[in-house]
Amino acid sequence: MSCSATESGGSRRREISVIIPMLQEAANAASAIEHAWDLSPLEVIVVDGGSDDGTREIAAASLCQLISSPAGRGIQLNRGAQAAQGDMLLFLHADTWLEPGARTQIEECLAQPHNLGGAFLQRIDSSGMIYRSLEWGNAARVRWLGRPFGDQGIFCRRDTFQELGGFPEVPIMEDVLFMKRFRRVAWPVLLPGPLHVSARRWRKRGVLTQTVRNWCLQAALRMGVSPDRLAQYYPHP
């Protein structure tokens, strides 16, 4: 395997660039990169925000492009997109992964001119009806409100991403703000995936606490509270 997929035939194949922001993700880095390559992308780009737990060393030893960036998911995602060469951009969190068939889903989706991007159905890696309810609720949020979160694997055309100005470089809620812009030009498509998601956040805080936290963040943002102020009350773990 090499860092770039090889083109075949006379016509240029549409390619996917996978972009993964990381910060203190030594436990997940190797697996995230390996699963990303299973999608047969043009490139896998890891954007590190200053890790000191071995994340950088793991990524550097893997077949990926490693970029250093100031910490902040919006900044890191934009740095990765600026370096990307693919026609299609797929943004993944380090604790999520897609099965190989997701590449075909993205290609078939974006082959339709009116489709500009979207996200995936989730499969949270824990048993119990409460997690199945979360999956249903997160899918409904995309279908009915057009608001996928970053942990649902946001993808879009590269030219659309550039036209929208990329992710807002704010300390929190960059995914929500980006999709607010996105909905002005197209409705996000929800693909079947599934996107496998670690349950670590819900286990750490509790399902109810984490869910209410997200609701409060969205409500406060709609009321005009700035992401900078929200970050003071809802810091990243």
Can you read off the two tokens belonging to residue 121?
């159905």
Q: Residue 150 and residue 205: Cα distance in Å, rounded?
A: 19
Q: Residue 10 and residue 46: Cα distance in Å, rounded?
A: 30
What average pLDDT does this structure show over 214-234? Answer: 78
Q: Is 64 within 8 Å of 46 (Cβ atoms)?
A: yes
Q: Residue 81 and residue 125: Cα distance in Å, rounded?
A: 28
Is a pLDDT exceeding 90 seen at residue 236? no
In the prediction, which pLDDT does 154 show? Answer: 98
In the prediction, which pLDDT does 217 show? Answer: 77
DSSP state of 145: H
Average pLDDT, the chain: 90
What average pLDDT does this structure show over 49-75? Answer: 96
In the prediction, which pLDDT does 13 show? Answer: 61
Is a pLDDT exceeding 80 seen at residue 125? yes
**CA-to-CA dists, residue 83 to 45, 80, 185, angstroms:** 8, 5, 24
Residue 106: left if φ>0, alpha if ψ -120 to 50, beta else—which one? alpha
- The model's pTM: 0.89
Name which of 20, 43, 188 is nearest 109 in CA terms. 188
Is a pLDDT exceeding 80 seen at residue 100? yes
In the prediction, which pLDDT does 172 show? Answer: 86
Number of CB atoms found within 10 A of residue 57's CB? 13
* CATH number for the segment(s) 16-198: 3.90.550.10
Q: Residue 51 and residue 205: Cα distance in Å, rounded?
A: 23
What digits encode the pLDDT tens for the residues 160-197?
999 999 999 998 889 999 999 999 999 999 999 999 99
Is a pLDDT exceeding 50 seen at residue 203? yes
Q: Residue 18 and residue 77: Cα distance in Å, rounded?
A: 10
Number of CB atoms found within 10 A of residue 10's CB? 5
In the prediction, which pLDDT does 5 show? Answer: 40
Q: Which amino acid is at 25?
A: E
Q: Is 174 within 8 Å of 221 (Cβ atoms)?
A: no
Q: Residue 110 and residue 189: Cα distance in Å, rounded?
A: 10
